[in-house]
Amino acid sequence: MTYTVATIIGTRPQFIKEAPMSMALRKNFNELIIHTGQHYDENMSYVFFEDMEIPQPDYNLNIGSGLHGEQTGRMLAAIEEVLIKEKPDYVLVYGDTNSTLAGALAAVKLQIPVGHIEAGLRSFNRNMPEEINRIATDRIADHLFCPSKHAVSLLKNEGIEKNVFLTGDVMYDACLHFLPIAEKKSTILESLGLTHEQYLLLTIHRPSNTDDTHAFMSIMKGIADSPWPIVFPRHPRTKKVIQNTAVQKMLSEMPHLKIIESVGFLDMLYLEHHARKILTDSGGVQKEAYFLGKPCITLRTETEWVETVKAGYNVITDNDPEKIRQAIHVFDPTHPQENFYGDGNAAEKITESIKKAFNL
Ligand code: UD1
Ligand code: UDP
């Protein structure tokens, strides 16, 4: 008998985590992909299925955007309906978004075992919606797949030691697998007129930086006199703040800032790999900067990926213009790095753990 694993995804970073997972899972299980539709723009969803050759979702629930409670609630109801109909033997959820929590909750209430990929992460900042999603998902999931020793130790501090697996990070798997493909296929630097190592890469999407015009303008102030051009693939969440009149005026005086639409994963990996430095408030981008040995300037008050800071490759500046400026001009680690995130076989290890749960 072949068991069915339902994979629940809905946002950009989840598609990226799903790519290596799907390849490993499908060697041993039937996979049923449920896309919640939390992200729906072509360049926030479709492009990743294309770039990474992820099988098309079996269901797209088309939930779309909304307030947290409303969005999570609609997902919960819609996922429940599919799970009742399809009766999968196992459910996998990824990371810390509303799609993660809704998927885990729908499954546990139907008594379907749940595995949480990227378990054990904490920012200790409960103002972040993700922190609540992570804590709740780790509490209710049956199997916790941790990307790092630090994540395992954080769970231990919360008294969670059973069914915790140190597997490494599936994003590292994705980076190793897709970087050579990106190197062959991407032409983004030429099309932007940028030169290797002679530009910075910027991403911003946290509510604390996008929903607060002052915070966004502080970041802009910090990058205003960058000696390198800066490419900024814009998350849809930044649309509103960029249209603000004061922000528009500020941006008109920053010709070195190239704002582009969000890019697919191959172009993004290529941009990361050839950047001089990376500025971001993204969790995934901080890690990819580390995998690729790039200095990372984190536009947040804290990070879950503390190893990258301890290793001296990530500096936390929040949206403080002077700290950002300093980091752009001065921060330049070159020492050898340690590998904290596994050996690039996290997806295989997670699959092996799920097999054991079925005595396979
Ligand atoms: C979500 C996750 C966040 C993750 C991020 C990855 C939650 C609470 N947040 O944040 O953890 O880091 O995805 O990118 O789950 N929008 C579009 N088109 C889209 C998607 C979104 O225009 O395809 C716009 C809508 O105006 C929407 C806003 O972006 O209201 C925010 O989208 P949402 O999915 O709620 O949160 P993200 O900021 O994307
Ligand atoms: N990413 C991408 N295109 C972009 C910006 C980001 O492919 O224009 C990728 C990035 O390489 C990383 C992931 O999206 O793998 C990170 O997702 P995001 O920053 O949206 O969310 P987070 O990781 O903070 O949850």
Domains and CATH numbers, the chain: 4-169+342-357 (3.40.50.2000), 177-330 (3.40.50.2000)
Sign of the dihedral through C-alpha 62, 145, 304, 265: negative
222 touches ligand 2 (CB under 6 Å):
no
Give the pLDDT confidence of 323-334 residue by residue, as tens digits.
Answer: 999 999 999 999
Residue 279 confidence (pLDDT): 98
pLDDT band at 136 (very low <50, low <70, confident <90, very high): very high
pLDDT above 90 (res 26): yes
Ligand with smallest separation from the Cα of 232: 2
pLDDT above 90 (res 111): yes
Identify whether the C-beta of residue 272 lies closer than 8 Å to the C-beta of residue 194: no
Residue 247 confidence (pLDDT): 97
Q: Which residue has the tokens 């599936």?
A: 170
CB atoms within 10 A of CB 187: 9
pLDDT above 90 (res 1): no
Known catalytic residue: 205?
yes
Q: Which of 116, 205, 329, 335 is catalytic?
A: 205
pLDDT above 90 (res 126): yes
Q: What is the mean pLDDT of residues 336-342?
A: 94
Residue 4 confidence (pLDDT): 98
Q: How far is the CA of 178 from the centre of ligand 2 (A)?
A: 14
137 touches ligand 2 (CB under 6 Å):
no
> Mean pLDDT over all residues of the chain?
97
Q: Which two tokens stand for residue 29?
A: 């299980």
What pTM does this model have?
Answer: 0.98
Identify whether the C-beta of residue 17 lies closer than 8 Å to the C-beta of residue 170: yes
Counting DSSP H helices and E strands in the chain, the numbers are 17, 13
Identify whether the C-beta of residue 52 lies closer than 8 Å to the C-beta of residue 23: no
pLDDT above 90 (res 164): yes
Give the pLDDT confidence of 294-318 residue by residue, as tens digits.
Answer: 999 999 999 999 999 999 999 999 9
Q: How far is the CA of 144 from the centre of ligand 1 (A)?
A: 25
CA 6/CA 84 separation, integer angstroms? 12
Q: How far is the CA of 262 from the centre of ligand 2 (A)?
A: 9
Q: Who lines ligand 1 at CB under 6 A?
A: 11-13, 38-41, 44, 65, 96-98, 129-130, 205, 235-237
Q: What is the mean pLDDT of residues 149-160?
A: 98
CA 126/CA 23 separation, integer angstroms? 34
Q: In what order do the strands lie in the sheet with 296-298?
A: 257-261, 230-234, 200-203, 277-280, 296-298, 314-316
In the chain, the amino acid numbered 92 is: L
